[in-house]
Amino acid sequence: MSSAEPVGRLHRPTSPWLQLCPPGTIELDLRDGPFDVAGLTTERPVVLLDQHPLSRSRLRRTARRLGVAVERELVVLPTLAHPMIVMDDVEQAIRYFWTAVATVPPGLALTALPASAALGIARRTPWRWTVAIAPARVVIGRRS
């Protein structure tokens, strides 16, 4: 790895969000700590990752600081390490998830009622609130 590349751990090339990006995309994980931004150019797309509470605002702040124009924001469930669902952070996608995808798994006899109640609350809560608590997020953009 050259000194111009971001410092951090090596990422699997199979990250689902990288399938949405052109080859040569730089992936920066905010969980890895400080990184060298010398490798960030205007020619290469940038993916920023985070998995902390309030990661939406943290990723947006980092993108502004790095001069990255955000083109797409994604919510990843349940975690970045084990992504099962990757969806755009837009109203239509979030509402579709809550109404057509999210369900209470079968066989949860003791927890079915609380899980159903939580799902009902999530379906009635404003969509921005429900994704605001999802900690695993990805921002895709380009340096301007």
Please, what is the Cα angle at 15 between 142 and 98, to 5 degrees?
Answer: 90
Report how far residue 43's alpha carbon sits from residue 100's, in angstroms, rounded to the nearest whole number.
38
Residue 94 pLDDT more than 60? yes
Of 8-22, 50-64, 99-113, 127-141, minimum mean pLDDT range = 8-22
Report how far residue 122's alpha carbon sits from residue 97's, in angstroms, rounded to the nearest whole number.
11
Evaluate whether 50 touches 143 at the Cβ level (below 8 Å): no
Which of the four pLDDT bands, split at 50, 70 and 90, describes residue 12? Answer: very low
Which of the four pLDDT bands, split at 50, 70 and 90, describes residue 89? Answer: very high
Which of the four pLDDT bands, split at 50, 70 and 90, describes residue 10? Answer: very low
Residues comprising the chain, all counted: 144
Which of the four pLDDT bands, split at 50, 70 and 90, describes residue 14? Answer: low
Cα-to-chain-centroid distance, residue 143: 18
